């Protein structure tokens, strides 16, 4: 893996445990709309395709716009109160930065909230480029998000590694023809990720210290 020059990360479930913040905001929106609260597991399993898709199965078309507005207003605060680094994440970013790797973010989270989160955790400066779903035509699992990052940073697909926690991350990497390191710390289990056949699979970020 020493040929890599660019490491692209997903945020939620990969670098950051933002699930408590997401769960809190979803249930707050549901309560305001007098809809049934959902379990942490139900909400966690719905994460990955952006906040509109996150809310859709819980609120339906009738309340979609109102729910999104309530959710986003609440989420600006909950993100900074309830989000924490995943194990090894901050130390890994320090390590990769010192080693001279280019670093980027590819997230289906809206740009505004990605930047709130990265600033709050004081890691925004680590990244050479941050690209989110609302800044391009298609989000993950469409490969354009990874392709645009590679073009922007002048790196070939053979020099890039994508690190993510979900099946859609693996599919995105495959469609972009980029090597994939899947980490079972987010919405999909180790077994679910294994079925997607990523290039590398681990239960935490720690193996990357030896591989990079």
Kindly list the domain boundaries of the chain, sorted by start residue: 6-17+84-211, 19-82
pLDDT of residue 50: 82
pLDDT in tens, 195-206: 999 999 999 999
| β 84-85/160-164 pair status | unpaired
Return d(Cα 82, Cα 31) in angstroms, integer: 19
Q: Give pLDDT, residue 124.
A: 95
Rounded to an integer, what distance in angstroms lies between the CA atom of residue 101 and that of residue 212?
9
Helix (H), strand (E) at residue 182:
strand 179-183
Rounded to whole angstroms, the maximal C-alpha distance in the chain is 53
- In the chain, DSSP finds a helix count (H) and a strand count (E) of 9, 8
The residues of the chain scoring below 50 in pLDDT are: none
Q: What is the pLDDT of residue 2?
A: 66
Tell me the two tokens of residue 179: 């090597």
Q: How confident is the prediction for the chain on average, in pLDDT?
A: 94
Residue 202, sorted as left (phi over 0), alpha (psi -120 to 50) or beta, turns out to be beta
Q: What is the value of pTM for the model shown?
A: 0.91
Strands 200-202 and 179-183: parallel
Per residue in 17-65, pLDDT tens?
999 999 999 999 999 999 999 999 999 988 878 888 899 999 988 899 9
Q: Cα dihedral sign for 49, 83, 89, 186?
A: negative
CATH number, domain 6-17+84-211: 3.40.50.1000
**Residue 31 to residue 38: CA distance in whole angstroms:** 10
Determine the pLDDT at residue 49: 81
CA distance linking residue 149 with residue 141, whole number of Å: 15
Residue 34 phi, psi dihedral angles, 5° rounding = 60, 40
């Amino acid at each position: 893996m020493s040929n890599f020059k660019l490491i692209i990360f997903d945020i939620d479930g990969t670098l950051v445990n933002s699930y408590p913040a997401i769960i809190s905001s979803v249930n707050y929106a549901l309560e305001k709309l007098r809809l049934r609260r959902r379990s942490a597991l139900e909400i966690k399993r719905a994460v990955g395709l952006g906040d509109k898709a996150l809310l859709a199965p819980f609120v339906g078309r009738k309340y979609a716009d109102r729910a999104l507005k309530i959710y986003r207003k609440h989420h600006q605060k909950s993100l900074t109160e309830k989000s924490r680094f995943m194990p090894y994440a901050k130390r890994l970013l320090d390590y990769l930065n010192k080693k001279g790797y280019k670093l980027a973010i590819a997230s289906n989270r809206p740009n505004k909230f990605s930047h709130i989160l990265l600033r709050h955790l004081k890691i925004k400066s680590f990244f050479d480029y941050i690209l989110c779903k609302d800044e391009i035509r298609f989000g993950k699992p469409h490969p354009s998000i990874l392709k645009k990052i590679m073009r922007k940073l002048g790196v070939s697909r053979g020099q890039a590694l994508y690190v993510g926690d979900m099946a859609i991350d693996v599919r995105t990497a495959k469609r972009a023809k980029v090597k994939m390191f899947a980490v079972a710390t987010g919405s999909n289990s180790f077994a679910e990720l294994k079925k997607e056949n990523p290039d590398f699979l681990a239960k935490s970020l720690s193996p990357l210290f030896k591989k990079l």
